[in-house]
Structure formats: structure tokens, C-alpha cells
Amino acid sequence: MTTKPKKQKLESFCDKSSRISPLKIPPSTASTIINTYLNNAFLVDDHIYNTMVKEIFKTQQLSKSVNKKNQILEGTYSHISWIRCEGKGSFSISPLMKQAAECHIEAGGNCIVIDLEDCTSMDSTFMGTMAGIAMKLAKIPNGTLQVIDANYRNKSSLEDLGLCMLLEVAPKNPEWNADIEKMRASLKVCTKASCGDSKQHVLEAHKILCEADENNDEKFSTVLDVLEAELNNLNNN
């Protein structure tokens, strides 16, 4: 029988002073805590979590340059769009993936391959963006989103969020299989994306996750509440 993880302290991530005052937590550390929380690996107090969400958005804006180690590459093969994630699949590069996919769909494409061979991990926003692309393709005749070469951690993340029924993970005998290395060699790095407000993008991704699997409602209720409150405050000012 699966049991929920016990509530754990944050000493493994930060010192006592940082734990008492979340705003002192370094952005990279806060991001790590947020991601593990969203994947149900950690349970932290909501007031600590809410503060860390705000701090991350203050310090990690999508307008900043994308980390060279974390990037999206794209290319086309016949009627197929090939999108490759290298490094961490995070909220900061997910707009690049979304833009590449939407351009392909608008051009009449119906098959997108998400290549996770060199993707070390994915956060919930990245996976929500993938789910959104899959939902758009599902409305197109023979539309499909194929996910290939996902490591154990990434497969588990997709399974935990109930996305494996929506995505075609590790397709058997795909038509492009013989040309996979040629395809990867021809990819180009995506550098620009216009996704609008970063908070809105993250909010939409998490709403999609809840739409994809009702079990995600409880996991992301706090995230949705915080982001909606932040957006309402911005709109009212």
C-alpha cells in the first residue's frame, strides 16, 4: 500500500535562518524545493511555499537569457516536428517548446516528437506545456505527440501526473526511427519566444495538468491559488 511521505524539515536544503525566513533562500535552492514539493516528494507549510513561489518569480523571469545548458532545439522531418530538450525541462524554456509546436501545428503538421534523450528532469510547468500541445494535436486528424528516450525519472514524472495516456511515450517502430541520428544532427537552437506574462504561462500549464487528470487538482491547488491571486493583484494595480 502506498503511503504519503511524512512531513520533512527543510534543513537538507537550507539553514535554520533561511527556513524561518523563506525570502533568504537562494533562488536555485527555492526552485529545487518548489519542484520537489510539486512532485509530492516534499510536504512543506503552505505559508513557506507561497512565499517561495513569489520569490522565484521575482528572481527568475523569462526575459532573462536562457541558460546555455538548458535549451530547446527544433527541426522538421517530412511532416514531423522534432523538438529536443537538453538539460532541465523547466518553466523558463517551456515557452520555446510551446512556440515551436504551435508553429508546426499552424503550418498543418500533425505529429510532434519530444526528444528527452539529454533531458535530466522536468518541472510541472514543462510537463503541463507538453500536455497542452498534446491536447491541441488530439483535435487534429491523426494528431499525436510522441515522447522518446525519457529517462526513468522523467517517465516516472509523467506517470505521476497521469500524462502517459495523453502522450505516446516510447512509440514502437516509428516511421522516423532509421533517421533519428540524422534528425538530431540537423536541429537548431531556439532562442526567442513570446509567451506573454510568465505567471500566466505557468498558471495555464497547471490548469492543463488538472484538466488532464483530476488527481492533479489537490497537488496543484495551492499553486493555482497563489498564481491567480498574483495575477489579480497585477490586473487591479
Query: What DSSP designation does 140 have?
Result: S
* pLDDT tens sequence across 109-138: 999 999 999 999 999 999 999 999 999 999
What phi and psi values does residue 147 have, to the nearest 5 degrees? -115, 125
Per-domain residue ranges for the chain? 16-63+203-236, 71-189
pLDDT of 195 above 60: no
pLDDT in tens, 53-79: 555 554 444 434 344 489 999 999 888
What local confidence, expressed as pLDDT, does residue 78 receive?
A: 80
Please answer whether residues 85 and 117 qualify as being in contact, where contact means their C-beta atoms are separated by less than 8 angstroms: no
Taking the C-alpha atoms of 215, 221, 223 and 229 in order, what is their torsion angle to the nearest 10 degrees? 150
pLDDT of residue 17: 33
Region 43-52: what's the mean pLDDT? 49
Q: Which pLDDT score, from 0 to 100, does residue 174 have?
A: 93
Mean pLDDT of the chain: 79
C-beta of residue 160 within 8 angstroms of C-beta of residue 219: no
The pLDDT of residue 64:
41
User: How many Cα atoms within 13 Å fall on the side-chain side of residue 73?
Assistant: 19
49 or 96: which leads in pLDDT: 96
CA angle (217 as vertex; 229, 53 as ends), nearest 5: 40
**What are the helix and strand counts (H, E) for the chain?**
9, 7
Average pLDDT over residues 1-15: 41
> Greater confidence, 149 or 21?
149
> Where is mean pLDDT largest: 61-75, 150-164, 218-232?
150-164
Q: What is the pLDDT of residue 122?
A: 97
Superfamily (CATH) of domain 71-189: STAS domain (3.30.750.24)
Reduced to 3 states (helix: H, G, I; strand: E, B; else coil), residue 86 is: strand
Per-residue confidence at 51, pLDDT binned at 50, 70, 90? Answer: low
